[in-house]
Structure 1
């Protein structure tokens, strides 16, 4: 089987890095088209031996991209097209149908209650989304929460397939030497209590909550934020205004797996080793991958929303605790953890449940159904 994955961009983001992890596990001959931004994840895919094509799309309304993408699909002779993220799902499904490919799968990575990839969920966004969805055979939800949101939107049950995001747990195993090196590199004292946040620096992630919480914590506490995005300048300003500039470190984007462009940058596993707790203040998530990665690193995790953990039995999520949104709630919880002192926890069952190998097996089953002469109904 030959499959083409179409994604909006290949910068360092959750969906982008999830794609790279999946392609290392899928027993399928895969190639990738990125509509825009062939960033560090593109380098990583190329290093893995995956062919990556940059379509050079100029913006959301660059309709000239559609015939180029259609022609590329026709030339490739693909059996299946798999799309990721809103713009790629819309253009990719249309192009695949125009090219004569009927086995079309899309993964919904980011559907929230009020936003989709930062877009307000207006009637127009929903209508365009559903019109595009009808062109495919399967829509993959990365959590049971997203699957339920798709049902409420009107996506037919028979086209919704639950395939959770997955992680390579070994990449996050605690490493004491990496902890020392990373702290030294970032200027974090060895004896500091380091609160970590991982994710895109966007308004919806509400990392400003952690800056407000930090202001209520002892002076030995530091905040380490990992990620890039449009809120970086605002977060730096907020730290300065609270007199916390020396206690807040913005480490920038971090690769999940080594890539040539990021050879000198600590991977995410090393940054998690440098932390003492993982805090996720976002009140709305589609999955909550950072929380699962934090548990894989043996960190206590405090979060406002995480469908990945909320969908599992409580005994499999030991070490994680849901908090009410807001700085006061996080400050209280983080103060209690700091008072107890830094410690590494046993890795709970949730981490093993969200294995990338398991996700790849489930997705292979979705592909088989999409390629079948008649559609089946599945709940993976």
Structure 2
């Protein structure tokens, strides 16, 4: 209890001195507050930038852990089964291991009436889980659902480039896309995905719906035309890869080999793409922090020189060197702690307001990360550390004050 009382008394004394000399101290801690705000803001901005890079990688490679299941092959490279037969085997094996997200990905060259010759239209044949697994960003309408497979009129999702070529119709009017190939039929546009332009038009259609449009007797595509993907927990990816490969190879038979490999960005270690940003931002914040600490040190030294008489009188009444050291040190620590709280709060308010979050969403970021608690904690630790370092030299000067100095000065 006595130790707690001693600590509390030192803090109260430091706060009192801070209030007495607040005009001087505030001039110094403004720089510290700005530096802490810069440090925490850079950490938060780095998290946002990293999330943007990660989402871009996941759109191309899939979310971790994305397993790519290849079609079976024999030792001489011959295909041992068709896409349809292998697809049924993959579905059964994934259901056995309770894999909740999987998709097929095929490619097609549909022909749409009314498009210019330079539209370069391409098509992807997918399953409903594809959008979640590959972060397809929908800017209008919706993505496929399981019920879309039962439509009498096939549903399609188009990118922004194809949507503009169609005249940017209101999706509430159920706009039609007039297909010529694989069959002369109208398809309804249910959603618009981000990306593309008038020369890079793209559409997505459910895999089974597209196959149903093909005339009877059309042969299934040969090996390599369809890719199979499964999204599994990263911690289980290694064991599941071996089990899926073994089970599928055994199910196909005839000495088949089915390769199951990860293809997401976490599968290969590489350099940090944000390292340069972190170095530059950290150096700038460190420079600001150094200037703020020097200002606080200068003010503290002037204040201690002005308080020599006061400190000498306290020493004559029995104040120990440790008590004087702790008191002067805590004055600096309390000041920088206040600056740290202010800097962290300003950084949080600046980055967590709806205007900034809305701007990030408009720039294409789907999952805006929350303000990192580690950044706030780091900012407060730096503030306390700067206060301790800035208060060390004045504390040593104060300890050397003798009672006779109270009379001399």
Considering the TM-score relative to the shorter chain, is it more than 0.5?
no
Q: Which has the larger radius of gyration?
A: 2
| Greater relative contact order (Cα < 8 A, sep 6+) | 2
Larger helix proportion of the pair:
2
What is the TM-score when the length of structure 2 is the normalising length?
0.20
